[in-house]
A and B are shown apart, each in its own frame.
Chain A
Amino acid sequence: MAEQPSLDPTSLWRDMLTQWERGLNSVANQTMGSNEFSRAMHQVTALSLRMQQTAGEAMSKSLQAMNLPTRTDILALSERIGRIEETLARLEAALPREAADTAKPAAPRPPRTRQPPTD
């Protein structure tokens, strides 16, 4: 005897949603797989980058006129802080192991003797 069709409306709704999702993904993937899409996407990206550059230059000039740091100034500071952090890390790594161990005793580690279960 064949199974009767489901009368559950939520089940029908879920099926419809899944079909819609698959259909739209499939159509969109076909469109996005075309040369035209790729060309248009990069034209938009290039335009956006140009606009960003123009806005950035205008903002930098305004900030300089107001005697305020620009993004470039902040990045230069960040770079210097990064270098100081790296120097500190190198110094820390170069400290004698004994001194580091005295400062912070390591917790005892379990033995490395484990064997795979036999079954």
Chain B
Amino acid sequence: MPATRTLDIASIAARLQDETERAVRRAINGANYITSPAPAMGCTPKDLRRARGPMRLYHYRPLQADLYRVPILIVMATTNRGYILDLAPGQSFVEFLLGRGYDVFMLEWEAPRDDEKHLDLASYAFDFIPQAVADVKRRTGEPDVTLLGYCAGGMLSCIYGAVHPTDGMKNLVAFTTPIDFQQMALFANWSDRRFFDVEALVDRLGNVPPEMIYTSFDMLRPAARIAGQVRLWENMWNDEFVKSYRMFDRWGVDALPLPGAYFRQVVEELFWENRLARNELILDGHLVDLGRITAPFLHVVAEHDHIVPRAASAPLIELVGSSEKQELVLKGGHVSIAAGANAVRRMWPAVDAFLAGRSV
């Protein structure tokens, strides 16, 4: 029989008591929220292995007595910090991988300096990533590496894999990777060549400031920030909610500037000409033909991704030439797919299931 709700004096009294307790907790936590720093993130122990330009290669300390033979190199998106994949104990993809016995490295990025405005897609895909792969091979003594890229990190890993398919890429895992830029409708409209003088912008600014990056992400869902703050107040009594909100909120606004040349190439080659989806992108004289990727491939996409919509990432699975390839479509958005509750329950175990047998 379906449940029914009854309105009686006892339930109203209990409800009032709950609300009073929550109001008190709200006031206490509200005061704490204003006066305390954001929770620490990215705390899984690691060692810096290389710092060159904006490139930072970290090696996480192992958690298991024996490791899978093939190390994992996580390639982070160029617009955001890597700690989204290492939020807090129990909410860390990195910690999960270490716990399952993988040897984990992360290639993440610092803000490019003004004199690094010339860095472009090729600098990242054909210089920084190969350097990191070589470092991982040298450190581990292994001839091959699993690449795992998040968002633009996935795109750069695919570009690298398409041009260097025999360079020891054992497996490739990409999360929410943009390929068909015409399907990112609002971004495509905002970068319309009739109105957007990207050359003048880059000439004037050098590097594209982080405020422009996160404002453009915010504009995709303009009501989300206000609604989020209302929900925060409503749930201020809930310590876990507040902690989680603060972590995701901090990450969202902690965007990185993009080198001018990189930004210009993304606009001109990817948004205007959509060359990556058409297998026509040429970088440093190399044709980026995604069909040349032959490593076992897993693409994880989010059903409700508002930054890289499903249609923008969907063509990748067809374009990649691997004979072993899988696509995993999960409920969730661009960020929650990597670090939310659904990630912990479904995405992380799925990645482990895909990699375990292919990492020996």
Contacts and interface: CB of A to CB of B under 8 A. Distances in A.
A100 to B, nearest CB: 12
B90 interface: no
A112 B192 contact: no
Given A17-B227, A24-B222, A32-B186, A3 B66 contact: no
A110 B189 CA distance: 51
Interface string A1-42: 111101100100110011011001100110011110111011
Interface string B1-22: 1111101000000000000000
A83 to B, nearest CB: 8
B286 interface: no
Given A25-B222, A28-B222, A78-B113, A112 B195 contact: no
A110 B64 contact: yes
Contacts, number: 119
Contact of B357 (A18, A38, A82, A116): A116
Nearest to B356: A116
A45 interface: yes
Interface string A42-80: 100110010011000000000000000000000100110
A113 interface: yes
B224 A25 contact: yes
Nearest to A112: B69
Nearest to A109: B62
B200 A3 contact: no
Interface string B209-225: 00000000001111110
B360 A115 contact: yes
Contacts of A13: 234
Contacts of B205: 49
B201 A112 contact: no
Nearest to B228: A21
Interface string B56-100: 000000101111110000000000000000000000000000000
A32 B188 CA distance: 11
Given A25-B223, A42-B195, A110 B185 contact: no
- Number of contact residues on B: which range applies? 35 or more
B348 to A, nearest CB: 15
| Residue of A21, A46, A111 ringed by the most chain B CB atoms within 10 A | A21
A2 to B, nearest CB: 7
Contacts of B189: 32-35, 37-38
Nearest to B206: A75
Contacts of A103: none
A78 B231 contact: no
Given A33-B185, A33-B189, A112 B66 contact: yes
Given A32-B190, A89-B50, A113-B69, 12 more contacts: A6-B5, A17-B230, A39-B194, A42-B195, A49-B200, A75-B114, A112-B66, A112-B103, A114-B64, A114-B66, A114-B101, A114-B360
20 contacts: A4-B4, A14-B234, A20-B227, A21-B224, A21-B227, A28-B222, A29-B186, A32-B219, A35-B194, A49-B200, A75-B115, A79-B115, A82-B113, A82-B116, A110-B65, A110-B67, A111-B66, A112-B142, A113-B69, A116-B356
Interface of A: 1-4, 6-7, 10, 13-14, 17-18, 20-21, 24-25, 28-29, 32-35, 37-39, 41-42, 45-46, 49, 52-53, 75, 78-79, 82, 86, 89, 109-117
Question: Ordered nearest first, which 9 A-B pairs have the shortest CB separation?
Answer: A116-B356, A24-B223, A79-B115, A21-B227, A112-B69, A42-B195, A21-B223, A114-B101, A114-B66
